Amino acid sequence: ATVMLCGWRAAGAKLRWDVSVRGLRSMTTLPEQQQPQEPHRPGPSWMKNSGRERLVVLGSGWAAYRIIRDIDIEKYDLTVVSPRNHFLFTPLLPSTTVGTLEFRGIIEPIRTARSRLNYVQFSCTEIDEEKQQIFCESFYDHGETKIKENIKLRYDKLVIAVGAQSGTFGVEGVEDHCYFLKQLSDARLIRNRILECFERASSPRVSDEKKRQILSFAVVGGGPTSIEFAASLHDFCAKDVVKWYPELYPFVSITVVEAGPKVLSAFEDSLSQYCQKQYKKQNIEIRTNISVKKVNEDSMELSDGSILPFGCGVWSAGNTPVPLLTSLPFEKQGGRLVVDEYLRVGGRTNIFSAGDCCVVKDNVLPPTAQVAEQQGKTIAKNLNSSSISPSVVPPMRRFKFHYRGMFAYTGEFSALLDSPFGTTKGFISWLLYVGTYLTKLVSIRNKIMIPMYWFKSFVFGRDISKF
Amino acid sequence: ATVMLCGWRAAGAKLRWDVSVRGLRSMTTLPEQQQPQEPHRPGPSWMKNSGRERLVVLGSGWAAYRIIRDIDIEKYDLTVVSPRNHFLFTPLLPSTTVGTLEFRGIIEPIRTARSRLNYVQFSCTEIDEEKQQIFCESFYDHGETKIKENIKLRYDKLVIAVGAQSGTFGVEGVEDHCYFLKQLSDARLIRNRILECFERASSPRVSDEKKRQILSFAVVGGGPTSIEFAASLHDFCAKDVVKWYPELYPFVSITVVEAGPKVLSAFEDSLSQYCQKQYKKQNIEIRTNISVKKVNEDSMELSDGSILPFGCGVWSAGNTPVPLLTSLPFEKQGGRLVVDEYLRVGGRTNIFSAGDCCVVKDNVLPPTAQVAEQQGKTIAKNLNSSSISPSVVPPMRRFKFHYRGMFAYTGEFSALLDSPFGTTKGFISWLLYVGTYLTKLVSIRNKIMIPMYWFKSFVFGRDISKF
């Protein structure tokens, strides 16, 4: 794809930072000498000077979405900056890769989260603390070309909730030959790839050996995402492949490669063991204490010297910071922003951070949706109760993480539940898993659609169309 | 994307045509001197010699799908050859471009159409009549690279139902800058592009003029697909854009460009006029007697000398034959195979054709789903009643087209119905449209899902997430 730089006013010419619309004065910086050239026109509130404090939230994940939903919109002029225009209900992402759920059942558009919010499909690249403004860029899809655009936005309060990206940890070939499993677009690629593997393997001239390679699914990482992906894939094979590609079923293999001594290390030991047992029954091979040295086009070189051939490789081995964080001048730990107990960054009173991109000082928590959401909640509460007048300082809440428990789906209507009240596993946990996530889903739309999709794939099987 | 040639047995090396699996003997040609190297193994029936006549169907559209569903599987060893592994319910395709319906609600996988059929994801490139075999090739997606594969298949009876592809009619720039609307993947691209246009236009630094360009939707062609796409897009704008991008709504324009004197020329005159009136009300501009001379990156040059700027261009101006047809030695008319009243190609008794790729001698019919399906039905009936013994010739049915009427959706819960019993328009027609298509939908799954999707978009609006 060609990358084309252009300002809107002078396509192809040198990028121009000038903004000549009066309405933008409130949010974007204007050279003082420049005169507004166009009359004021209706637009989102951030084009006008609303009189409210300007709150800019970077990101559209769990932390950001919680803030968006909880913030007092009478008090703040809210602008959300994120390249992804929807919130993704990540715990259900693995089951969309095989069509147990359909993609659009697990997302919520940011714009529809509430009225009177402003959203721009941009990524923040730089923060100018002195002028209280951020620089953003966007690459709009325009067919084969991408159109680059830049804006500046002013803020009074800023929340950095940009999350993290999938980390390759320097392993060669991962980006070229593996799929990540982080966004919905990843899930769509994986779904098409899985189906393509079965179509390829069913072609008449394929040898048994080649079939085994094409139908080898390699999953790197032993966290919940990998484990649930492997489980969903097994469900798909055991229920649908066996029906529509019966001759291929014996050639399918699923392998989970984990560098540590066990999978689901965040879960209680008995659950992790149950998972291993369950997977053994399902013929999913778990290889622990083994790391990937290099990924080739259709095989992985492992640390024990063996070669793992694959037709579809999924890489979900952990997170790494997004580029923005690297450029920020604040204290970091493992690349993540260090925040205080009020989730403030670098001691600033107007910059906060939440979610996977930050770490609370002396209180390192796992990068989970639960932590992110609770942090978002704390920030929203503190912002809602804060005063615009500098002389009045209301008491702020300290962030305290309340562990509510976590699930992992382990295939064939079984799940694990690790909770502060104890652990359960098997079918009962699966029922709790279904019930909990149905409750947690945000919109009524998805609360209706998700059970429909479950019903559909249970009764009619998963769709094997590839497009 | 790189194209890589490789045989399965010698990746990257010269393409090898040899097949060394005993089971393939029945369908694929084996050099006589070659010995089978692997034992027989279970597989689809076409890997064995089933004793039944080998029927090969090329395509997975309306005609092919009808044959697949109707053919007597006790009598024929059926193999379907098509690059698309699903049947697409084309009349509802336009409404998926804006999310009124979800993509997977209007497709049926070929493999699940019935048991005991064989499917290969290949395109036929050549027919060898003498040896009664076809040559096929496939380009499998393998990440960035494409893997080319070749096979030969033997047939006793062959049905060519490969359809047609979108035609550009030599207009420069169409393929680079416009979207076709023929497959589900096209609809997905269009949906993302529409949403990207709104996100781009809502960016703070965009001038009014640029907004008008980005939000100009140009639709080329005045057939039902174009008309229904324009109507669906209008619905989306009037219901969802107005809600989530209110400041952009005044900048939206939809233009339909048609080279002929009227749109929907296949419909009765009063209906075509009603459509024009309805569209005027909906602010959709219809420009007839105007053709497109050239398509640039963001504008079209029209035959009256004017320039039509666009942010999203959809090209649905008619069909052109697929490459296979060009290479076939049979009589053609406008690039389509000429068939006799029994739908036989070139007087052969074992090669048939149906759908958009053929034209019945002295009886030219429009390239519609209805014609294709009825032709498929006739072929299936004749094949089912034909005898394998050459001495017994049962009477064959002549193909006779029964016009059952046709719909066009014209937006805001209105539709047109042109039928042999008269015409209706407006809301009543829309109810008939909904009812008819629900009846025509193939699977129970889709008969459940489609009303759900209609309900969802009616109650909750269309999803504006882009991924």
Output the DSSP codes for B316-327: ---EEE-HHHHH
Q: Is A372 exposed, middle or buried, given 0-12, 13-18 or 19+ CB atoms closer than 10 A?
A: buried
Residue B465 CA from chain centroid, whole number: 26
Specify the DSSP element, H or E, that contains A260.
none
Instruction: Indicate which of A27, A104, A441 best probes the interface with B, i.e. most B CBs within 10 Å of its own CB.
Output: A104
Shortest Cα–Cα distance, B178 to chain A (Å): 8
Q: What is the percentage of chain B residues whose pLDDT exceeds 90?
A: 82
Is residue B442 within 8 A of residue B261, CB to CB? The reply is no
Write the pLDDT tens digit of every residue in B412-459: 999 999 999 999 999 999 999 999 999 999 899 999 999 999 999 999
Amino acid at A418: D
Residue of A nearest to B87 (CA): A465
More confident residue, B187 or A37: B187
B206 contacts in chain A (CB < 8 Å)? 8
Residue B149 CA from chain centroid, whole number: 24
Residue of B nearest to A48 (CA): B204
pLDDT at residue B199 in the model: 95
Give me the residue spans of the domains in chain B: 2-83+121-164+320-385, 174-317+405-460
Specify the DSSP element, H or E, that contains A427.
helix A427-440
Instruction: Identify the band that residue B142 occupies on the pLDDT scale cut at 50, 70 and 90.
Output: confident
A202 contacts in chain B (CB < 8 Å)? 44, 119-121
Write the pLDDT tens digit of every residue in A108-154: 999 999 888 999 999 999 999 999 999 999 988 776 778 899 999 99
Shortest Cα–Cα distance, A103 to chain B (Å): 10
Inter-axis angle of helices A269-281 and A224-236, nearest 10:
20
Is residue A64 within 8 A of residue A82, CB to CB? The reply is yes
CB atoms within 10 A of CB A51: 7
Q: Do A207 and B38 touch (CB under 8 A)?
A: yes
Structure tokens that stand for A65 in this block: 């979405």
Interatomic CA distance for residues A212 and A253, integer angstroms: 8
Of B43, B138, B467, which is closest to A185 when you measure between CB atoms?
Answer: B467
* Residue in B66, B103, B60, B162 with CA at minimum distance from that of residue B440: B66
A19 contacts in chain B (CB < 8 Å)? 204-205
Is residue B219 within 8 A of residue B211, CB to CB? The reply is no
Residues whose CB is less than 8 angstroms from the CB of residue B455 and which lie 6 or more positions away in sequence, other chains included: none
B140 contacts in chain A (CB < 8 Å)? 196, 199-200
pLDDT at residue A248 in the model: 96
Contacts for A356-360: CB closer than 8 Å, 24+ residues apart: A356/A61, A356/A163, A356/A164, A356/A319, A357/A59, A357/A160, A357/A161, A357/A162, A357/A163, A357/A164, A357/A321, A357/A322, A357/A325, A358/A160, A359/A333, A359/A334, A360/A399
Mean pLDDT of the A419-441 span? 94
Instruction: Identify the band that residue B156 occupies on the pLDDT scale cut at 50, 70 and 90.
Output: very high
Residue of B nearest to A45 (CA): B247
Shortest Cα–Cα distance, B251 to chain A (Å): 12
A443 contacts in chain B (CB < 8 Å)? 460
Of A8, A42, A109, which is closest to B464 when you measure between CB atoms?
Answer: A109
Shortest Cα–Cα distance, B288 to chain A (Å): 27
Instruction: Identify the band that residue A386 occupies on the pLDDT scale cut at 50, 70 and 90.
Output: confident
Mean pLDDT of the A211-236 span? 97
Mean pLDDT of the A2-11 span? 34
Interatomic CA distance for residues B376 and B364, integer angstroms: 16
CB atoms within 10 A of CB A361: 12
pLDDT at residue A396 in the model: 87
Shortest Cα–Cα distance, A334 to chain B (Å): 30
Mean pLDDT of the B346-360 span? 95
Mean pLDDT of the A39-59 span? 69
CA angle A224, A229, A235 (to 5 degrees): 125
Instruction: Identify the band that residue A102 occupies on the pLDDT scale cut at 50, 70 and 90.
Output: very high
Is residue B154 within 8 A of residue B50, CB to CB? The reply is no
Residues whose CB is less than 8 angstroms from the CB of residue B115 and which lie 6 or more positions away in sequence, other chains included: B73
* Residue in A406, A350, A341, A337 with CA at minimum distance from that of residue A375: A341
pLDDT of B229 strictly over 70: yes
Of B102, B183, B204, which is closest to A151 when you measure between CB atoms?
Answer: B204
Residue range B174-317+405-460, CATH number: 3.50.50.100
Q: Is B243 helix (H, G, I), strand (E, B) or coil?
A: helix
Kindly report the backbone phi and psi dihedral angles of residue B386, in degrees, each rounded to the nearest multiple of 5, phi listed first. -75, 160
Q: Is A457 helix (H, G, I), strand (E, B) or coil?
A: helix
Q: Do B151 and A107 touch (CB under 8 A)?
A: no
Specify the DSSP element, H or E, that contains B302.
strand B299-302
Residue of B nearest to A453 (CA): B449
HSE, side-chain direction, 13 A CA sphere, residue B433: 23
Is residue A159 within 8 A of residue A65, CB to CB? The reply is no
**Fold topology of A2-85+121-166+320-385:** FAD/NAD(P)-binding domain (3.50.50)
Farthest CA pair distance, chain B: 79
Instruction: Indicate which of A111, A146, A188 best probes the interface with B, i.e. most B CBs within 10 Å of its own CB.
Output: A111
Q: Do B19 and A205 touch (CB under 8 A)?
A: yes
Q: Where are the beta strands (DSSP E) in B38-132?
A: 53-58, 76-81, 86-88, 107-109, 118-120, 123-128
Shortest Cα–Cα distance, B189 to chain A (Å): 9
Of A176, A203, A297, which is closest to B151 when you measure between CB atoms?
Answer: A203
CA angle A167, A169, A175 (to 5 degrees): 60
pLDDT at residue A233 in the model: 98
Interatomic CA distance for residues B425 and A323, integer angstroms: 56
HSE, side-chain direction, 13 A CA sphere, residue B435: 7
pLDDT of A445 strictly over 50: yes
Residue of B nearest to A114 (CA): B244
Say which residue the tokens 């979405």 belong to. A65
Q: What is the DSSP string of B146-210?
A: EEEEEEEEE-SEEEE---EEE--TT-BTHHHH-EE-SSHHHHHHHHHHHHHHHHHHTSTT--HHH
Interatomic CA distance for residues B110 and B121, integer angstroms: 10
Interatomic CA distance for residues B64 and B80, integer angstroms: 8
Handedness of CA A164, A166, A168, A172 (dihedral sign): negative
B46 contacts in chain A (CB < 8 Å)? 204
Q: Do A247 and B42 touch (CB under 8 A)?
A: yes
Specify the DSSP element, H or E, that contains A296.
none
B183 contacts in chain A (CB < 8 Å)? 467
A104: left (phi over 0), alpha (psi -120 to 50) or beta: alpha
Q: Is B465 helix (H, G, I), strand (E, B) or coil?
A: coil
pLDDT at residue A12 in the model: 32
Same fold, B2-83+121-164+320-385 and B174-317+405-460: yes
Interatomic CA distance for residues A184 and A107, integer angstroms: 9
Residues whose CB is less than 8 angstroms from the CB of residue B107 and which lie 6 or more positions away in sequence, other chains included: A463, A465, A467, B86, B87, B88, B89, B184
A104 contacts in chain B (CB < 8 Å)? 99, 102, 463, 465
Residue range B2-83+121-164+320-385, CATH number: 3.50.50.60
Structure tokens that stand for B227 in this block: 């008309």
Mean pLDDT of the A434-438 span? 95
Shortest Cα–Cα distance, A133 to chain B (Å): 15
B104 contacts in chain A (CB < 8 Å)? 99, 102, 463, 465
Enumerate the β-bridge partners of residue B88: B107
Of B8, B177, B196, which is closest to A207 when you measure between CB atoms?
Answer: B8
pLDDT of A17 strictly over 70: no
CA angle A372, A374, A375 (to 5 degrees): 65
Write the pLDDT tens digit of every residue in B362-403: 999 999 999 999 999 999 999 999 865 656 667 889 999 999
Of A46, A199, A456, which is closest to B121 when you measure between CB atoms?
Answer: A199
Alpha helices in A165-300 (DSSP H): 174-177, 184-201, 208-214, 224-236, 242-244, 269-281
pLDDT at residue A246 in the model: 94
Kindly report the backbone phi and psi dihedral angles of residue B51, in degrees, each rounded to the nearest multiple of 5, phi listed first. 85, -20
Say which residue the tokens 């991008």 belong to. B245
Interatomic CA distance for residues A80 and A100, integer angstroms: 31
Say which residue the tokens 């121009």 belong to. A16
Q: What is the spatial order of strands in the sheet that A284-287 belongs to? A: A179-180, A312-315, A216-220, A253-257, A284-287
Q: Do B195 and A85 touch (CB under 8 A)?
A: yes
Shortest Cα–Cα distance, A277 to chain B (Å): 30
Write the pLDDT tens digit of every residue in B265-292: 999 999 999 999 999 999 999 999 999 9
Shortest Cα–Cα distance, B140 to chain A (Å): 7
Is residue A330 within 8 A of residue A353, CB to CB? The reply is no
